[in-house]
Chains A and B, each alone.
Chain A
Amino acid sequence: MKVNGTIILLAENTTLLNFLKAQSFDINTIAVERNGEIIPRSAYKNVILYDEDTLEIVRFVGGG
């Protein structure tokens, strides 16, 4: 699977939510696009990731 331009190996098919948790993302401060489509936060637990997927994960830090 490609994540932010880097190819990573998926050990097994997992949900997006579990993947994000394993990578220590705070799901309240990110936005995720899979294969060009924004994924609503409520769908993270239902989306299954596959090797051929491309993810873009944007993490927001505070300040403005």
Chain B
Amino acid sequence: MIIEINGKKMDLTYQTAFEAREQIGNETDIVILNGFQIENDCKLSANDTLTIIRKGTMPKKAELESMMMARHTPTVHKRIKKGKVAIAGLGGLGSNIAVMLARIGVGELLLVDFDIVEPSNLNRQNYYISHLGMPKTVALNKQLKEINPFIKIETQNKKVTEANILELFNGYDIICEAFDQPEAKSMLVNLALNQLPNIKIVSASGMAGYESSNLIKTMKPMKRLYVCGDMENGAEIGKGLMAPRVQICAGHQANLVLRLLLGIEDI
């Protein structure tokens, strides 16, 4: 019976998951079967994915990636590892989207931003005090490498303009529009849809303040344009931007990217 154990396909005679653990590991090891951490023994079937993790020890690099992805729904990781996603803007949306996509193992990420980390970013953006003054591309790249060293990360420390959209984003499957200014959002969406005939854009509009979480939705207003947000609540004088709603919106964007990479185009 062919079973994948810790990332390696093996032909094994074990009948149950705990039998495999008894042979390979020890009693206190965690056992994850097809994405689910089991507490009771389960019968094994051909093509199951089994991960046996010893807590408190550093696994070999060859096993680490499969262990990190052990809680994924089976087959998801292999598919999204082929994904190429660009993130335009590394603020409240972009930095959080990048962390989520790195955690799930999207194979190639492009991080684009021209700005440096400053104190008012820390109420919602995925940076630390130690990053103050650093280019966002550098600060985020460092964190993503700590989260998942098995993905390819490219950075572009520049402003996205009408002149460089084609050059920056050509070859990517999806652009996450994660800018702050509505004019910049509109510029990127318009030009990318025009210039890149296969690109899909996952954009955001309306996540300011502390209105209900439930107002934030994922929409598909155009063939290749998805928009996440409440479509109404913009940042303005008297209405701030804070971690909870910004991260809810980033979560909508990241989950949509995951779905698109898995071939699901419905919202």
Contact = CB atoms under 8 A, between A and B. Distances in A.
A61 B190 contact: no
Interface stretch (B134-142, B199-207, B257-265): B199-207
Interface string A26-37: 001111010010
Contact of A31 (B178, B193, B241, B246): B193
Interface in B77-106: 89, 91-94
Interface string B229-267: 101111110000100001000000000000000000000
Interface string B174-195: 0000111111011001100110
B56 interface: no
A41 interface: yes
B223 interface: yes
Contacts, number: 86
Interface residues of B, number: 37
A61 B203 CA distance: 11
Interface centre among A4, A29, A30, A61 (most CB of B within 10 A): A61
B205 A59 contact: yes
B231 A61 contact: yes
A31 to B, nearest CB: 5
B205 A58 contact: yes
B179 A61 contact: no
Contact of A60 (B186, B222, B241): B186
A59 B231 contact: yes
Interface of B is mostly: mixed
Interface in A19-61: 28-31, 33, 36, 38, 40-41, 56, 58-61
A32 to B, nearest CB: 8
27 contacts: A28-B186, A29-B185, A31-B190, A33-B221, A36-B223, A41-B190, A56-B221, A58-B203, A58-B205, A59-B205, A59-B231, A60-B182, A60-B185, A60-B189, A60-B205, A61-B205, A61-B229, A61-B232, A62-B181, A62-B208, A62-B234, A62-B236, A63-B180, A63-B208, A63-B241, A63-B246, A64-B180
4 nearest interchain CB pairs? A61-B234, A63-B235, A29-B182, A60-B185
Given A31-B186, A63-B204, 9 more contacts: A28-B183, A30-B186, A31-B225, A56-B222, A60-B189, A61-B206, A62-B235, A63-B207, A63-B235
